[in-house]
Structures are given as structure tokens and as C-alpha cells.
Amino acid sequence: MKRAFSADELKHTAPRLAVERRSVRFQDVDAAGIVFYPRVLEYFSDAYMAALKERGIDVPGMIAGGGIKLPLVHAEADYLLPLRFGDAIEVEVLAPKLGDTSFTVGYRVTTAGGVAAVGQTVHVCIDGARFTPRPLPNDLRSALG
């Protein structure tokens, strides 16, 4: 799959839509004492959901209703620095790149030592009843833009 965000954009230049500050929890680390790799994807998801909520997008209502849905169809992460229990981190949600029926969200995880992880997720807007792609609604475009 072609990357919507370049490595440079993810690490340095892409503008951010939102930021979530948190600490690495004990249950996030593995036997090596560093963040277990899928936890970074959870950090991405938590920050993404918080960003949508901040912009007035009712994700629980969207899931419960029969209208549009925004399933994730691709996720990737690059791990650049170790994250350890107790580290204070910022999970940045980068301004999405919007297509007709899909959008790509970038993420940057930073710590005192620099950029620790980057990644991106691709979401497709679908009709909830038929599970077929549909154009992104204008209110969603505005909230993400």
C-alpha cells in the first residue's frame, strides 16, 4: 500500500490536529522493559478517538446507528526509540489526508528523547447498511480538516 504520509512528514513536518499527553503504564511494557509493540497502535487509536470526540464526532452513536461507519483498513507503525515504564509521552494526531471515500491519519509519539514512534492508519467511509464505500460527508470533512 502506498504511504499517504512520507517518513519526513510523520517525523517532522505534518501539522497536528490534536495531541494526547500520557505516561507509559506498567502494563504497556514487555519483559524487555520497553513498550510492547501493539500498545503503540492502541496509543494511536486512543488519541484518534479523543480527537474525533473533541471535534464533535459521535463515534459511539455512529457505531450504534445504521448510517456511516469508518472502519480501519490499514495500520502501520515504525518504532524509532524505546519507550519505558513511566515515560511521559505525547501522542500527536496529524492532520488527515482526505480522499473521496477514505482518509489517512498520521501519528507521532514523542518523548523527552525525541520522536519515539510514527505511523498511519487508513479509514474508509462506508454505508453502514450495505458495507460499501461512500463519499465522506461534509461535516466529517470539516471536522477532520
What amino acid positions are annotated as catalytic residues? 30
3-state class (DSSP) for residue 108: strand
